[in-house]
Amino acid sequence: MLNKLALAGIKNRFRDYAVLFSGLIIGSAIFYMFMTIATNKDFQAGSTAGLSATPFIFLFGAILLMIITLVYVVYANSFLLSMRKHDYATFMMLGAKSSKISQLIFTETMAIGTVATVVGIAFGVGLTQVVGSFLMKTLDAAQNHFAPFYLPAVIVTLVFFVILFFLAAIVNASKMRATPILTLLRSDATPTRIKQKPVVLMLEAVCGLVLLAIGYWAMTKLPVLGLLAIPLALVTIVLGSYLLFNAVVVEAIQLLKANRNFAGKGLRNFTLSQISFRVRSYTAILSVVSILFALALGAITVGMGFYNEVPKMAQNFSSYDLVQHNPSAKQRAEANKLPGVYGQAKYTVKVSQKMVTFNRGEIEKRPLVFVQTNYNGGSARARHVALSAAKFAQAPLKYTQLIDSLLTAPKVQGGAKVQVTSDQNFAAAPGTTMTVYVYRLRDLRANIRPLTRLQNIENKKYPGLLERGATGSVAASYGVFNAMFSGFAFMGFFLGLAFLAMLASTLMFKILSGADYDRSRYAMLRRVGVREGLLRQSIRTELLTLFALPGILGIVHVLFGLQLFKSLLLNPYDNLLLPFGVFGILYVIYFLITVWLYNGIVLRKNN
Amino acid sequence: MAEQKVVQLRDITKTYGKKGEKQYTALKGISFDVAPGEFVGIMGASGSGKTTLLNILSTLDKPTSGTATINGTDVTKLKGNKLADFRANQIGFIFQDFNLLESLTARENIALPLALQNVSPKKSDAAVERIAATLGIAEILDSYPTEISGGQKQRVAAARALVHEPAILFGDEPTGALDSQSARELLETMRDLNDKQNVSILLVTHDPFSASYAKRILFIKDGVIGKELLRGDSTREQFYGQVLNELGTFQQ
């Protein structure tokens, strides 16, 4: 009989259960998604070029995700309990034994958890497949050892979640048994006045700032502190965020409330009170979310950084993006048709075993271009610079790389001399004459396919070019860098998306698990005569604050955190707008979904 | 009509359930008026339809047929924002379970209706202080609802219901959750408000003691008004006796 009643309870609140269920599915799917990479040693070794820090980073990521998942399941669980409390208390009032109720709750929690995990893993396989192949395609990053269905990941996910739900089920069952029926029947989250001394608040704010400063400093000192920098930064930033939220947000709201002209309008006072009431119970989750936000945004930004830098790094290797030797008219026409091609020039070069001769007239008319590298502290910045004929003629051997890149074999490196002569002397110079056409490209990535095809024609004609490997041509160096960095980029995006989904779901759950309590508040406001639109606006403002606070702090974390990648990326702060924009849009979508779900629970008219 | 009535009900019926399904008629044609400054009690047992009636009066529910006019406006025709605004401006409520917002202090709770009308903080403060003094809750204005007693909560609720000077105050079993001392004090306050400040009150209750504070009592049974009792010149104690007497015969 009780089983039947319990099932009926689920049917009545189908919508809420759908929220709970989909949330748990997303949680386990994302956990699985992360684990497909974290447990796949072959993939890690293959895509990070055997970087020694990789297993360490993944271990950290896994521990972090486990902690977050634990928090997540606790919230999901309290959401479940808040839904069922009333029903179960009613059963107990009707005379059901508390042991029977405990058993029911235990079964329900386990059943929901296990089913959600299994569905979540299946969903995770699909999600991994979709995200994985989408990223491989867009990033041009073929991953050898990447498998959407990876058995160790399935096992880890299943075991981890079943253990979590087992613990949650025990907690739920004992909680229900320990709480008096009356409390269960009318438990409301009642805000109690928390008096905080201004001195304590000030101290908290200062401590928070100091801890954040230590964390940010640690990230800039990665070369000095080594891998210790990462745990140090994590701990100090988590604590710092927590203290800062506690001190600053509560105080800021008090200030806003004290401004009667602002707070006295419409529902503002109510909204502010709601926020301050929530922020108090949310400080822990908000600081965790701000860290997660930073990790997700950071991963995507760095991933995009790697992705963006591949063409730049490849181009910094050579003066020209394409060099054709004695090409046919058709090949030249094709090269000139490449979109965004510029800086075309034609040089006649005489090459013998001992001597490479340039025609002064030609290089005066169209100066050569060389890659100038400026060392600035630890980092090097390369740029393409035009070279005057006079400067070149003075000391041509300074430009070995440039000259050899024009030739079919590295003659100068092999000891040949270089001379720059006038028209008359050029005719008398030794060796065979070669006509060299050079091209530069504005957008290497867009042109990489046709460029590679043209380069292959060259390579076929002069097999020596192929033997020079990455230095043989831009197409070749692009291939090498892309193979190396697209693994990073892939991982960055993949993990970034996983973290984002996780953090937003965590926040969403925390908010939704309190929604049941808020329902009566909004019902009261409606009775007093508050317009529907005003109610919705109040809800939007409240939730927006809860989403925006960790978001803002998270962005600050990322801006400092990018320091970590200074040694790996030419400029980690390039093109921030795109990853931030993409991330922002996804975050806003999550916010809107939460508002929609929350409205659905809180503003339901009947019941 | 010499004087506009505050409340005017004409042939109100309310049927629950859709056509073709099992239907239940809670109100079967109810008509009555409340004049400005009147204190009217509505009595009835559980299931008599008094809650339905109050929900219609307070615009939380709509009648199946008939008109309900409050302060000259037919509330059955109002919708959406107009309805919400009407509720906010013209009606004051006191509920059995107080309906205070726990995240706000008593002062903030009372000021809420004024904030909804965007009254300036200065005027709002003055109005809150004035009504709080009238109701004897000036001391606890900065407490949260969880920190005060049931009687005080109900006074805060009454202050919130009256602070914007509504056309009428509706009470839905306002003494239902109070001890007898607090209940008596609240009712005396309501009588004073009615006597001295001319506040129109409509009190729905099943408690004869509460009802005896009214000047006129309507008895509802099975969806119709069965009897009307006027206090006239008798004292409250005498009237209480009449109510008890009436209930004794009315319920049979």
Q: What element of type H or E holds B139?
A: none
**Touching check for B124 and chain A: CB below 8 Å?**
yes
Rg of chain A over all Cα atoms, to the nearest angstrom: 32
For residues A477-509, one letter each, b for 16 or more C-beta atoms within 10 angstroms of the residue's C-beta and e for the rest, the string is: bbbbbbebbbbbbbbbbbbbbbbbbbbbbbbbb
Mean pLDDT of the A284-310 span: 80
Within a domain: residue A486? no
CA distance to partner chain B, nearest, from residue A519 (Å)? 11
Residue A489 pLDDT:
78
Residue A121 pLDDT:
93
| Among the partner residues A266, A269, A531, nearest to B104 by beta-carbon distance | A269
Instruction: Verify whether the Cβ–Cβ distance A264 to B113 is below 8 Å.
Output: no
Percentage of residues in chain A having pLDDT higher than 90: 6
Scan for tokens 């973290």, then name that residue.
A499
Last residue of a domain, one of A187, A218, A248: A187
| Mean pLDDT of all residues belonging to chain B | 86
Q: What is the ipTM of this complex?
A: 0.81
Interface of B with A in 129-188 (CB under 8 A): 144, 146-147, 160
Residue B81 pLDDT:
84
| Among the partner residues A267, A524, A532, nearest to B99 by beta-carbon distance | A524
Instruction: Verify whether the Cβ–Cβ distance A528 to B124 is below 8 Å.
Output: no
Chain B residues in contact with A525 by the CB 8 A cut-off are 101
For residues A94-127, one letter each, b for 16 or more C-beta atoms within 10 angstroms of the residue's C-beta and e for the rest, the string is: eebeeeebbebbbebbbebbeebbbbbbbbbbeb
Last residue of a domain, one of A148, A165, A187: A187
**The two three-digit tokens of residue A90, written as one number:** 């009613």
Within a domain: residue A478? no
CA A232 to chain centre: 21
- Domains in chain B: boundaries: 7-250
Query: Does residue A215 have a pLDDT over 60?
Result: yes
Instruction: Verify whether the Cβ–Cβ distance A269 to B108 is below 8 Å.
Output: yes
Query: Cα-Cα-Cα-Cα dihedral of A560, A565, A569, A571, to 10°?
Result: 10
CATH architecture of B7-250: 3-Layer(aba) Sandwich (3.40)
Residue A158 pLDDT:
92
Query: Does residue A376 have a pLDDT over 80?
Result: no
Last residue of a domain, one of A132, A162, A187: A187
CA distance to partner chain A, nearest, from residue B250 (Å)? 33
CA distance to partner chain B, nearest, from residue A520 (Å)? 9
SS3 B234: coil
Within a domain: residue A422? yes
pLDDT 10s digits, A74-105: 777 777 777 777 777 777 777 777 778 788 88
Sheet holding B201-205, edge to edge: B91-94, B168-172, B201-205, B39-43, B216-221, B224-230
SS3 A80: helix
CA distance to partner chain B, nearest, from residue A189 (Å)? 9
Mean pLDDT of the A347-370 span: 87
Chain B residues in contact with A277 by the CB 8 A cut-off are 103
**Touching check for B112 and chain A: CB below 8 Å?**
yes
Within a domain: residue A95? yes
Q: Using CA atoms, how far apart are residues A317 and A474, in angstroms rounded to an integer?
A: 7
**Burial grade of B138 (CB within 10 A; 0-12, 13-18, 19 or more):** middle
Instruction: Verify whether the Cβ–Cβ distance A528 to B120 is below 8 Å.
Output: no
Instruction: Verify whether the Cβ–Cβ distance A273 to B103 is below 8 Å.
Output: yes
Instruction: Verify whether the Cβ–Cβ distance A529 to B88 is below 8 Å.
Output: yes
**What does DSSP say about strands B168-172 and B91-94: parallel, antiparallel, or unpaired?**
parallel
Task: Pick the more confident residue, A190 or A176.
Answer: A176
Fill in the DSSP letter of residue A51.
Answer: -
Within a domain: residue A272? no
Instruction: Verify whether the Cβ–Cβ distance A192 to B80 is below 8 Å.
Output: no
Fill in the DSSP letter of residue A569.
Answer: S
Query: Does residue A448 have a pLDDT over 60?
Result: yes
Q: Using CA atoms, how far apart are residues A419 and A393, in angstroms rounded to an integer?
A: 7
Best residue of A262, A269, A275, A282 to probe chain B, by most B CBs closer than 10 Å: A269
Within a domain: residue A576? no
Residue A380 pLDDT:
63
Chain A residues in contact with B95 by the CB 8 A cut-off are 527
Query: pLDDT band at A51, cuts 50/70/90?
Result: low
Nearest CA to A168 out of A84, A48, A224 is that of: A84
Chain A residues in contact with B147 by the CB 8 A cut-off are 193
Within a domain: residue A92? yes
Instruction: Verify whether the Cβ–Cβ distance B146 to A524 is below 8 Å.
Output: no
pLDDT 10s digits, B236-251: 888 888 888 888 776 6
Look at phi and psi of residue A231 and say left if phi exceeds 0, alpha if psi is from -120 to 50, else beta: alpha
Residue B97 pLDDT:
82
The reply to whether A181 and A328 lie within a common domain is no
Between chain A and chain B, how many beta carbons pairs sit less than 8 Å apart? 88
If one counts every other C-beta atom within 10 angstroms of the C-beta of residue B96, the result is: 17
Contact B39, B203 (CB under 8 A): yes
Chain B residues in contact with A531 by the CB 8 A cut-off are 81, 84-85
Residue B129 pLDDT:
92
pLDDT 10s digits, A253-264: 888 888 877 777
Mean pLDDT of the B199-214 span: 90
| Among the partner residues B119, B124, B144, nearest to A191 by beta-carbon distance | B144
CA distance to partner chain A, nearest, from residue B233 (Å)? 36
SS3 A488: helix
Q: For residue A417, what are the domain limits?
A: 322-468
Query: Does residue A535 have a pLDDT over 50?
Result: yes
Residue B231 pLDDT:
86
Within a domain: residue A328? yes
**Touching check for A277 and chain B: CB below 8 Å?**
yes
**Touching check for A391 and chain B: CB below 8 Å?**
no
Rg of chain B over all Cα atoms, to the nearest angstrom: 18
| Mean pLDDT of all residues belonging to chain A | 81
Task: Pick the more confident residue, A591 or A54.
Answer: A591
**Touching check for B79 and chain A: CB below 8 Å?**
no
By mean pLDDT, which of A282-286, A599-603, B130-134 is the weakest? A282-286
Query: Does residue A574 have a pLDDT over 80?
Result: no
**Touching check for A417 and chain B: CB below 8 Å?**
no
The reply to whether A10 and A159 lie within a common domain is yes
Mean pLDDT of the B117-134 span: 88
Percentage of residues in chain B having pLDDT higher than 90: 10
Task: Pick the more confident residue, A467 or A359.
Answer: A359
pLDDT 10s digits, A485-526: 777 777 777 778 777 877 777 788 778 777 777 887 888 888
Domain tally for chain A? 2
Contact B43, B247 (CB under 8 A): yes
Residue B1 pLDDT:
45
| Among the partner residues A264, A524, A532, nearest to B115 by beta-carbon distance | A264
If one counts every other C-beta atom within 10 angstroms of the C-beta of residue A340, the result is: 11
**Touching check for A268 and chain B: CB below 8 Å?**
yes
**The two three-digit tokens of residue B236, written as one number:** 């409250």
Query: pLDDT band at A183, cuts 50/70/90?
Result: low
Scan for tokens 């808020």, then name that residue.
A518
Taking CA atoms, what residue in A is nearest to B157? A528
Query: pLDDT band at A607, cuts 50/70/90?
Result: very low
Residue A122 pLDDT:
94
